[in-house]
Structure 1
Amino acid sequence: MAKSNNQTSLYLTLTGSILGFLLLFFTYWFWPDPLPIHYPQFQIPNPIHFTDGITSCPTTTTTTTTDRSHDPENQTFYDDPTISFSIEKSITNWDEKRQEWLNLHPSFKPGVSERILVLTGSQPKPCKNPIGDHLQLRLFKNKVDYCRIHGYEIFYSNTFLQKKMRSFWAKLPVVKAAMMAHPETEWIWWVDSDAVFTDMEFKAPLDRYLDYNLVVHGWPDMVFGQKSWVGANAGVFLIRNCQWSMDFMEVWASMGPQSPDFDKWGKIQKSTLPDKLFPASDDQSGLIYLILKEREKWGEKIFIESDYELSGYWLGIVKRLANVSDMYEDMERWVRRLRRRYAETNLEHYAVLREKYLAGAGVGSDSWRRPFITHFTGCQQCSGDHNPSYGGDSCWVGMEMALNFADNQVLRSYGFVHPDVLNGSLVWPLSFDYPV
């Protein structure tokens, strides 16, 4: 009889354990994700307002097919021998010419207002820095990854389209030529080769710029108050494909080294911008000069973006990347839906889900949000002649960290991760339900 009681007790114990396990299992997997209010670390009272590019993303994608094989015989601006792609030649009535082309190619009209072409580039010759070409390749890969994830086209230029416009001036001839080569594209997005996309989910909030034609990263008080030549950064900018932009770039480029007034513009810029360190005319000083001195003509269409890192300064960013990674992992431990495996093509959907937990994450040095673009200004990865104030190999270490930080967001969809952001060659397979 005692034996029977023991068996009954054992049976009840095992049954209770199994039922308890099943209850825990179903509660864990099927209970709705908790709202941030249950987790004070992610409950920040003042949400940021620059995420229109993310929060407006539809959770279901509508596919529109463009007919790339269709090109009717009708005459367009491409058939006009007087029109030149050169930055030195003016183009007029561009808005009408572009619209005419779109009318002849109607499959490109849907979604045209949000269509982006990313431009970047480097010099045509091999790098002097022993690791320069390797860094250039990785920096380009980073941009290709970002564009693939969001469906953007990308063009890489390694030639000087105007032989005298080199270095930082080389971008303007490329931008104009790209506008004419891609009339189906509304926005041209120039990104310097030494800039890294460090948030692969975030998208530029185009709705914020409906009334503007040029978007640059900067600080209005530094531009208008201090008249500083570093008040805005010309290494990353969005520019609309329109006549206004053609006219603006023509004036901007007239300060370049191909101009007979190049030396004069250097003196004018230096006298206008008190903290400009060198006498030669440069594109960034030229941009700020036009914003300051021709504000009525151009200023109303230029947006100086300071609410997120459209071109974040690398030295302050790389120091906080490890902390940012930890915060995102903490978020995913708490919110099961965010750590679910998914196809890379669905990344934007999960970016939308993540946004409610990121609201109020702050901006700048106090933020635990991933910085959007980390710009390694002054590092000169190809020549190796970095700013002497950057001690030792700090530039290359910083680039390695930023590139691997970004690459981990890409590799996640492929089931792998760099366990050490200072070692890009080392990858580990991710365990199921990582990071729990």
Structure 2
Amino acid sequence: MARSSTTKPSAVVDGLVFTAGAFMALLIFFGLYSFLSPDPVPNRLSSISLPFSSPRTNHSTHDPSDQTFYDDPSLTYTIDKPISNWDEKRSAWLKLHPSFSSNTERVLMVSGSQPKPCPSYDGDHLLLRSLKNKVDYCRIHDIELFYNTALFHPLMPTFWAKIPVIRAAMLAHPEADWVWWVDSDAIFTDMDFFLPLDRYRDHNMVVHGWPKLVYEEKSWVALNAGVFLIRNCQWSLDFMDEWASMGPPSPDYEKWGKILTTTFKDKVFTDSDDQSALVYLILTGKGGWRDKIYLENEYYFEGYWVEIVGRLENIAARYNEMEKRGPAVLRRRHAEGVFVSYAKQRDAQLGRENGAVSGPKGWKRPFLTHFTGCQPCNGKRNEQYSGDNCTEGMYKALNFADDQVLHAYGFRHANMLSGDVQPLPFDYPRART
């Protein structure tokens, strides 16, 4: 699988920045998370391979009378009924649908938002822009996206809502090897980047986090559960059953709230939440899950927006300078359909550039910028954010990403806060604008 070259940032610096910022950002946790968050979708692994087969564009030639797990009346999509032998069921389905066979791993992105209109003035527009951002990334990388606006379990709202959605998505997409959950307030700010799936071959879940903050600091913000990859397998179904057993439907919900509050001294509210529950399962080794969970901190699998937004204009300028002095192929006009090939050329040039690394001290584009605490839909942002810094920051990130997309269409935004665009001259950015 093609991947962007990255240089590991200082885990200590990154972790400390995250801890300070994320703790404050999540201080009023229930007011900070959206009703629903976006989930995982498929990811293209090669610039020359065809998009993986999908149920909408490919039709297997198997006998329709062949029985699969879909014909089992006891199987249910709801989170309250366990599923057994899923790996065997999925394998049998794939054998009946050979058009889905591939040498690359398929990823399904899942995301979503609340079922009702947003009460805040900019809420619906920001969610639309955020959805467009995900659609752009998925289209460029030949990924499929499932965006959900329904509550799949009446007792699992807010941050717990993603677990029933992901479970149902696994059953609806047996062709997907991974499900990629992405919160609605997380924005792709590097359209070139590929998930390094080879790195995770021995793991079943990937989440942005820091082992030191989990095991030594015992912090509930040692990771962020708003963006993660989870493998479509029996392990994941079993894990989500246990994870959900710490949520609102459980008769032990109040007990879990007390346990988590006691375990994590920096947790300032008493309810059991998905993130604290996930850290607890890793920290305690309960259920033996942690050996299959990868804590990613070598790139911005999701990055705290406060440390990123103020750097976006400088990052954009550095990329322009790189393309000015780099080989002509970096400035060549091209069809969006070959975006991936040109992304690889930029990646190669980045590898030759001094300082082009991921992290607070580098100027490589952050992969995902997560606006934790901004609550664009209900407008109840964290009180530490003054004025319109959340809204302005989101528009900056969205336009920063959109410029990468619009380049193939011959335009760019007039500036990072403008909805107006201007045409790009030939040989941009070397040409005078």
TM-score range for the pair, normalised by the shorter chain length: 0.7 to 0.9
- Which of 407, 410, 413 aligns to 2:408? It is 413
Residue 351 of structure 1 is matched in structure 2 by: 343
Superposition deviation, residue 60 in structure 1: 3.2
Instruction: String of CA shifts for 1:318-349, please: whole Å, max 9, x gaps.
Output: 01001100110001101221111111111111
- Which of 369, 378, 391 aligns to 1:383? It is 378
Residue 291 of structure 1 is matched in structure 2 by: 282
Superposition deviation, residue 131 in structure 1: 1.0
SS at 2:59 equivalent: coil
Superposition deviation, residue 413 in structure 1: 0.5
**Alpha-carbon separation, structure 1, partners of 2:94 and 2:230:** 19
Going from structure 1 to structure 2, the CA distance change for 1:192 and 1:278 (only over 3 Å counts) comes to same
Instruction: String of CA shifts for 1:331-374, please: whole Å, max 9, x gaps.
Output: 11012211111111111111111122222622211111000000
Residue 342 of structure 1 is matched in structure 2 by: 334
Structure whose CA Rg is larger: 1
Superposition deviation, residue 299 in structure 1: 1.0
- Which of 154, 166, 179 aligns to 2:170? It is 179
Residue 207 of structure 1 is matched in structure 2 by: 198
**Alpha-carbon separation, structure 2, partners of 1:371 and 1:379:** 19
The two structures have a TM-score, normalised by structure 2, of 0.86
* 1:430 and 2:424 are equivalent in the alignment: yes
In the TM superposition, 1:42-53 aligns within 5 A as 48=7
**Alpha-carbon separation, structure 2, partners of 1:378 and 1:321:** 19
Superposition deviation, residue 260 in structure 1: 1.4
* 1:101 and 2:101 are equivalent in the alignment: no
Q: Which has the higher contact order (CA 8 A, sep 6+)?
A: 2
Q: Is the 8 A contact 2:6 2:299 kept in 1?
A: no
Superposition deviation, residue 295 in structure 1: 5.7
Residue 141 of structure 1 is matched in structure 2 by: 132
Instruction: String of CA shifts for 1:140-178, please: whole Å, max 9, x gaps.
Output: 010000000000000011110001100100000000000
**Alpha-carbon separation, structure 1, partners of 2:358 and 2:387:** 29
Report the residue type matching 1:185 in the other structure. Answer: A
Superposition deviation, residue 61 in structure 1: 3.1
Report the residue type matching 2:413 in the other structure. Answer: H
Instruction: String of CA shifts for 1:110-133, please: whole Å, max 9, x gaps.
Output: 14x421110000111111101101
The two structures have a TM-score, normalised by structure 1, of 0.85
SS at 2:226 equivalent: strand
**Alpha-carbon separation, structure 2, partners of 1:64 and 1:148:** 12
Report the residue type matching 1:427 in the other structure. Answer: V
**Alpha-carbon separation, structure 2, partners of 1:278 and 1:59:** 47
- Which of 198, 201, 208 aligns to 2:189? It is 198
Going from structure 1 to structure 2, the CA distance change for 1:58 and 1:185 (only over 3 Å counts) comes to closer
Q: Is the 8 A contact 1:57 1:348 kept in 2?
A: no
Percent of paired sites with the same residue: 55
Superposition deviation, residue 422 in structure 1: 0.6
Q: Is the 8 A contact 2:68 2:92 kept in 1?
A: yes
Q: Is the 8 A contact 1:138 1:403 kept in 2?
A: yes
Residue 278 of structure 1 is matched in structure 2 by: 269
* 1:91 and 2:91 are equivalent in the alignment: no
Q: Is the 8 A contact 2:8 2:299 kept in 1?
A: no
Which sits farther off after the overlay, 347-356 or 412-421? 347-356
Gaps of 5+ in 1: 1-45, 51-55
Superposition deviation, residue 315 in structure 1: 0.5
**Alpha-carbon separation, structure 2, partners of 1:216 and 1:270:** 22
Gaps of 5+ in 2: 10-43
Q: Is the 8 A contact 2:60 2:98 kept in 1?
A: no
**Alpha-carbon separation, structure 2, partners of 1:183 and 1:57:** 19
- Which of 362, 365, 368 aligns to 1:370? It is 365
RMSD of aligned alpha carbons: 1.7
**Alpha-carbon separation, structure 2, partners of 1:343 and 1:265:** 53
User: Which is richer in helix?
Assistant: 1
**Alpha-carbon separation, structure 2, partners of 1:84 and 1:61:** 35
Q: Is the 8 A contact 2:208 2:301 kept in 1?
A: yes
Going from structure 1 to structure 2, the CA distance change for 1:351 and 1:327 (only over 3 Å counts) comes to same
**Alpha-carbon separation, structure 2, partners of 1:76 and 1:57:** 29
SS at 1:433 equivalent: coil
- Which of 26, 44, 48 aligns to 1:60? It is 48
Report the residue type matching 1:406 in the other structure. Answer: A
Q: Is the 8 A contact 1:126 1:133 kept in 2?
A: yes
In the TM superposition, 1:247-266 aligns within 5 A as 247-266=238-257
Q: Is the 8 A contact 1:308 1:364 kept in 2?
A: yes
SS at 2:295 equivalent: strand
* 1:81 and 2:73 are equivalent in the alignment: yes
Residue 31 of structure 2 is matched in structure 1 by: none
**Alpha-carbon separation, structure 1, partners of 2:391 and 2:125:** 11
Residue 11 of structure 1 is matched in structure 2 by: none
